[in-house]
Structure 1
């Protein structure tokens, strides 16, 4: 779905409209699997939250995992070190919760190949603690290729809490719950009743819908009006926008927008927007991790855009060549902000 704001001359394209991420090739599969071995070798416990069943050999673009707090505190440095070891680069770290970090990695020799390592320590939604890291990592199970997954009971508990938090359809939660072995369901029932005072009743879709509503009600009761971690995250996001302004110049805005969107949406940036010239009101888009294209470099307002949030195509520069240069700029910006060892051209 494309949204066009005709009155302002600004066009917004959501990530849902971007081309689908290509199937994860063999090198990306190895990059994902070996990352978890890398963490274990560093003495850091981690566990894949879901999607491990096929060994990441399907259409994979991002991997959700939990990591112990000591590891999460240095997640950017860990991912950056691993990327350098494997010939990749860390291009973005998007912090959507105080205890979560969406780390976007891109292959140095092929910028069309990207993977997001989506880390959390505690599992939180909107500042509410749903499961702490120790609970998530308890009794984790070793996978054939060397990483770990959640214990069966822990995974089902996590999936039910996530279904409630993200307002999933009751039918999907019912099917997932009923597909698990009876002893796993019984253990999870006991955990949910003890911590959240909810029950799946007779296991029907109607009973599951009530349980999910009750969980959301419990989450709201625990939500704090003053969450210092969340306030700090929002302030940091405003002071250090994760979007990027691309000045195309000339009459090639449409061509550049298509090439860049294919390369960078929806992992590096959430949305794309474009207009003839930059306006101060578009700052909000940079804060919301939007890839903003403008054709005119003459707007006096451009000087107000932070240097690390601005990318100008050279005269006659091919868009595909510019993709590689922007990926490198993103890496340098990310390493500088995260205080890791930024690499120079």
Structure 2
């Protein structure tokens, strides 16, 4: 996929350069790795349209765009035909908090070709990558070896090191040559001061950052996903696989039933919830209103901030599970009250209902009698008839079920982006 991206840039005269990690581009699909790409400011301002045109030409889908800095934007692309995801991280400036060493135009004037695409010159890559590593305290032997290869294979890199660090350039040459992490750590503060003295502060950065943050709050890029189904149908296994798969989000947060971190109530903690009796009508009504309060406060306190931070938020069961399995939650009041309360509960973006033949589920877990299990399966299928739910046949292979769930999530992300 990345070859099509760079080919499109070349054909449309879009100046760019891959910043680092270009040696492993063949192995980045469906992993946590991304491709850092520097592009000219004019192109960055029109990036959404550029990527849209590129995707249209190559039959890719945009499933997520995260504007995580004034001059930085994550773009997640998905190819249905190849069943692959590509994570691109675009930059209009190689900067941190609005401060940079080189202008974008200076960096893009001195690129070189590498396996059919453009990368920074060794001198510029050495300095910008070193700046990034000292900011993130990344001083592994592999990183120092990379610095050494950039420095000693190109005379201009040595001259640039001398220009930036002056008399401390020889110290860095020794560190890189000997992969001396301890010596680097001992002198890190001095080296940081030297490189920071060379940085330029951009104008209007703070104003742009405020505008970006407001936009992220008004249009959160995270997503909430709920999974429903009988015990033994495979929800936990599917959720675990989805969490471990490459998805277009910053991180993942898992909740059980309610949007609270601590599970300190009977539901979800009891190993045999169906053996406990129902509450009285009055106690059930009180509990129902307590649910409404918990869900709304939990959503405000926990879920909304995570959505702004581009999290994938997964629920193993959610409020509407009570519609099917009232015994689990010891609910003893009327269905009408349940549905009225449901109107006051924030709804997940995507809801999956996993079903399988009762006999198959019973063979996996004998927590509920087969007759009651059949009733639950029927109830979940009925719940899934609502357009807000997506029915998944969980009797297939695990890989097929996970692929079905993941594909639907990505399709929904694509639709959300288009809207």
Q: Is the TM-score greater than 0.5?
A: yes
Alignment of 1:121-270 (within 5 A): 121-145=92-116, 147-169=117-139, 174-179=144-149, 180-181=151-152, 183-193=155-165, 199-203=168-172, 204-205=174-175, 206=183, 209-215=188-194, 218=197, 227-251=206-230, 253-265=235-247, 267-270=248-251
CA RMSD in angstroms, aligned pairs only: 3.1
- Structure 1 residues 170 and 333: alpha-carbon distance in aligned structure 2, compared to 1, 3 A threshold: same
Please, which runs of 5 or more residues in structure 1 have no aligned partner?
A: 1-30, 337-345
Which of 341, 351, 357 is the equivalent residue of 1:312?
351
Q: Distance in 1 between matches of 2:344 and 2:139?
A: 44
TM-score (ref. length: structure 1)? 0.74
Q: Distance in 2 between matches of 1:75 and 1:198?
A: 41
Say whether the 8 Å CA contact 2:99–2:200 is kept in structure 1.
no
Say whether the 8 Å CA contact 2:253–2:311 is kept in structure 1.
yes
Alignment of 1:78-97 (within 5 A): 78-97=50-69
Residue 367 of structure 2 corresponds to residue 284 of structure 1: no
Q: Offset of 1:169 from its aligned partner? A: 2.2
Say whether the 8 Å CA contact 1:97–1:124 is kept in structure 2.
no
1:130-186 deviation line (CA, Å, top 9, x unaligned) = 4321122122112342x2111121111211221222222286665443332262333
- Structure 1 residues 301 and 176: alpha-carbon distance in aligned structure 2, compared to 1, 3 A threshold: farther
Q: Offset of 1:256 from its aligned partner? A: 3.7
TM-score (ref. length: structure 2)? 0.62
Say whether the 8 Å CA contact 1:244–1:310 is kept in structure 2.
yes
Please, which runs of 5 or more residues in structure 2 have no aligned partner?
A: 176-182, 260-297, 321-340, 354-383, 385-390, 394-400
Q: By percentage of residues, which structure has more strand?
A: 1
Q: Offset of 1:245 from its aligned partner? A: 0.4
Q: By percentage of residues, which structure has more helix?
A: 2
SS of 2:229's partner is coil
Q: Distance in 2 between matches of 1:123 and 1:33?
A: 23
Residue 32 of structure 2 corresponds to residue 32 of structure 1: no
Which of 310, 318, 342 is the equivalent residue of 1:296?
318
- Worse-matched range after superposition: 148-157 or 76-85: 76-85
Say whether the 8 Å CA contact 1:165–1:216 is kept in structure 2.
no
Corresponding residue of 2:20 = 50
Say whether the 8 Å CA contact 2:62–2:75 is kept in structure 1.
yes
Q: Distance in 1 between matches of 2:205 and 2:60?
A: 39
- Structure 1 residues 321 and 110: alpha-carbon distance in aligned structure 2, compared to 1, 3 A threshold: farther
Q: Distance in 2 between matches of 1:62 and 1:40?
A: 20
Corresponding residue of 2:85 = 114
Residue 306 of structure 2 corresponds to residue 325 of structure 1: no
Say whether the 8 Å CA contact 1:136–1:154 is kept in structure 2.
yes
Higher relative contact order (CA 8 A, sep 6+): 1
1:46-69 deviation line (CA, Å, top 9, x unaligned) = 111122336x23355421111111
SS of 1:291's partner is strand
